[in-house]
């Protein structure tokens, strides 16, 4: 008997049977293991599958999609350890086997005796990449994917590199947390003595990451001497970390290619992969407009990579921002269940196509598709630390020095880092009080201004160095004068031509600077959604570092991976009609 999942408004129907270590054999004979949650009655049900390298029974998974309540509503929920992780056999090499293993697992799940043969995939971060890579293989039983905070986007747009700078803190943190527990736990069964040494090494680096000084090593390759087990891990090696420069051949991303399937995209404004989430949504939207796939669905909250609560940072966004409530009283589990109940039943989901949390209003807006801006508001930098609606006729300049020995610290933003470096909407006084951070503030607003979408900056700047970085950050200054980070971006000067169009990488050769010459830099600040309220002001920061989020530029043209030598760079930001340095904001009604 085939059972249909219950609607979101209907009560839970079934008791749930949980089966552990359910085996699936891949095409090369490797066995992968899953935990299966299914209604404890006879019959068949549609399958919701996720594949994870972090442990299929990790409690955080249930906060995003609760397998017990979803299974009670009429689904089979399968949570599988990917190849080489925790309960599954084989060797884990990030991304390498997720396509074929995903295909085989989807088809295996479709053939289970309690399956209807219809399979959907779900999950966030690396789980999202497993969905994209499986979908590229086109398993016949796969009917939809729901990638969250998706890591399947372009590696040069926040995955490994941003504007030519290496995502140092994120890569080091992810490699550490991923390379340690599961790998060493497996080693404990075969070589206990070696495992004990590896645990000691892992614990040493774990303690060190709680201290800011750990990230200050130069050259970065010296970190390998402090933690050889970490840097010898196949996980870290597969990342090519530390990356010396972004012109190297980085891994291809399945998330850049649209699929002929229904898709539900879930992301956060303070997630390191928000750019990928939106790029994937827009890719699917274009695919839909061509008639090749159904129109995609999108949910974007004020969330970071690991926090969907709407709490944390310097701003409380209220209970509607919590994943357990949202605006309709639903949590993300019930949203998944409602969406898949329709999709796997070949029906149209009764949900908003696009649901966006607008900060400042602290409420959700719904749209049929991501809103187009009604206009672009250019705010021009001016000497004296002001922002103006028009560039001043007279040329101006503002100077500061960037010392790699004393970089500007990472304070909030769309980050994914270990230790004390929290992501999110953090107040910026610690940053803005520094001499090496330029601050430009607009007039007090007299009416609301809503900005939704991609923010960019155009900077005209010169430097005494042959290479350097420029960082631009957009902030909201509340009525009490608190400056809150919204979004930011970076460009590494020698790769300026590789990122001429925000978000795009053109494989251009690196080109060192002529000291003192003025260059134009296009800086992608990614996206945000905020309403600046009457009495508030818009603020822009300009500086040359954000450490340890991005690796420091030594101002010498040499990589921080290879060299410990640096010089202080004397930076000059140029303004006026000839050099219209500015930020560009997408304004909607």
Question: Which positions are catalytic?
Answer: 125, 271, 305
The DSSP symbol for 2 reads B
The DSSP symbol for 321 reads G
Return d(Cα 565, Cα 558) in angstroms, integer: 8
From the list 230, 287, 301, 220, the residue with the least C-alpha distance to 257 is: 287
Return d(Cα 172, Cα 241) in angstroms, integer: 8
Give Rg (Cα) of the chain.
24
- Which helix (H) or strand (E) element contains residue 268? strand 264-270
- Which helix (H) or strand (E) element contains residue 54? none
Return d(Cα 545, Cα 96) in angstroms, integer: 33
Contacts of 488 (CB under 8 A, 6+ apart): 413, 414, 471, 472, 473, 474, 525, 526, 541, 546
Contacts of 371 (CB under 8 A, 6+ apart): 354, 356, 452, 453, 588
CB 237 within 8 A of CB 171: no
**What length does the chain have?**
589
Q: Tell me the C-alpha to C-alpha distance, in Å, between residue 570 and each of 148, 303, 403, 462.
A: 42, 36, 9, 8
Return d(Cα 237, Cα 391) in angstroms, integer: 48
Residue 15: CB atoms within 10 A of its CB come to: 10
The phi, psi pair for 9, rounded to 5°, reads -90, -5
Residue 286: CB atoms within 10 A of its CB come to: 13
């Amino acid at each position: 008997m085939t059972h249909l999942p219950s609607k979101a408004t209907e009560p839970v129907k079934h008791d749930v049977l949980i089966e552990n270590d359910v085996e699936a054999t891949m095409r090369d004979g490797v066995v992968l293991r899953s935990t299966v949650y299914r209604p404890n009655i006879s019959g068949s049900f549609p399958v919701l599958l996720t594949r994870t390298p972090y442990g299929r029974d990790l409690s955080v998974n249930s906060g995003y999609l609760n397998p017990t309540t979803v299974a009670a509503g009429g689904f089979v929920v399968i949570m599988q350890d990917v190849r080489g992780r925790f309960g599954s056999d084989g060797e884990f090499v990030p991304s390498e086997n997720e396509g074929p293993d995903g295909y085989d697992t989807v088809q295996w799940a479709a053939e289970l005796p309690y399956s209807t043969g219809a399979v959907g995939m779900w999950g966030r971060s690396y789980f999202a990449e497993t969905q994209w890579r499986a979908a590229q293989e086109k398993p016949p039983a796969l009917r939809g994917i729901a990638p969250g905070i998706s890591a399947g986007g372009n590696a040069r747009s926040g995955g490994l590199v941003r504007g030519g700078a290496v995502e140092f803190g994120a890569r080091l943190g992810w490699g550490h947390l991923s390379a340690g527990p599961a790998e060493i736990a497996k080693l404990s069964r075969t070589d206990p003595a070696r495992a004990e040494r590896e645990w000691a090494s892992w614990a040493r680096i774990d303690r060190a990451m709680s201290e800011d000084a750990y990230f200050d090593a130069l050259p970065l390759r010296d970190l390998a001497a402090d933690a050889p087990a970490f840097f010898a891990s196949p996980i870290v090696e597969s990342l090519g970390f530390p990356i010396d420069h972004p012109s190297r051949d980085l891994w291809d991303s399945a998330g850049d290619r649209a699929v002929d399937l229904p898709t539900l995209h879930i992301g956060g404004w303070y997630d390191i992969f928000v750019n990928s989430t939106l790029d994937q949504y827009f890719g699917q939207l274009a695919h839909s407009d061509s008639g090749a796939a159904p129109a995609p669905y999108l949910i974007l909250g004020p969330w970071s990579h690991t926090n969907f609560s709407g709490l944390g940072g310097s701003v409380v966004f209220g209970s509607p921002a919590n994943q357990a409530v949202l605006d309709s009283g639903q949590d993300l589990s019930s949203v998944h269940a409602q969406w898949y109940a329709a999709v796997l039943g070949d029906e149209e989901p009764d949900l908003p196509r696009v649901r966006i949390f607008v900060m400042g209003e602290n409420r959700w807006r719904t749209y049929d598709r991501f809103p187009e801006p009604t206009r672009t508001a250019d705010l021009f930098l001016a000497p004296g630390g002001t922002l103006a609606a028009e560039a001043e006729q007279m040329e101006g300049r503002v100077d500061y020095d960037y010392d790699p020995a004393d970089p500007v610290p990472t304070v909030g933003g769309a980050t994914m880092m270990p230790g004390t470096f929290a992501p999110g909407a953090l107040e910026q006084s610690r940053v803005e009080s520094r001499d090496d951070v330029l601050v430009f503030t607009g007039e007090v607003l007299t009416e609301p201004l809503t900005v939704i979408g991609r923010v960019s900056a155009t900077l005209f700047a010169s430097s005494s160095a042959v290479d350097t970085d420029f960082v631009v950050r957009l902030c909201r200054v509340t009525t009490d004068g608190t400056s809150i980070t919204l979004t930011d971006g970076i460009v590494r000067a020698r790769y300026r031509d590789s990122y001429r169009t925000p978000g795009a990488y053109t494989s251009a050769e690196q080109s060192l600077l002529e000291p003192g010459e003025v260059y134009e830099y296009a800086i992608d600040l990614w996206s945000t959604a905020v309403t600046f309220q009457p009495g508030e002001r818009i603020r822009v920061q300009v500086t040359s570092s954000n450490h340890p989020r991005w690796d420091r530029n030594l101002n010498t043209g040499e990589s921080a991976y290879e060299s410990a030598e640096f010089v202080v760079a004397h930076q000059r930001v140029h303004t006026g009609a000839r050099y219209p340095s500015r930020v560009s904001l997408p304004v909607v009604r």
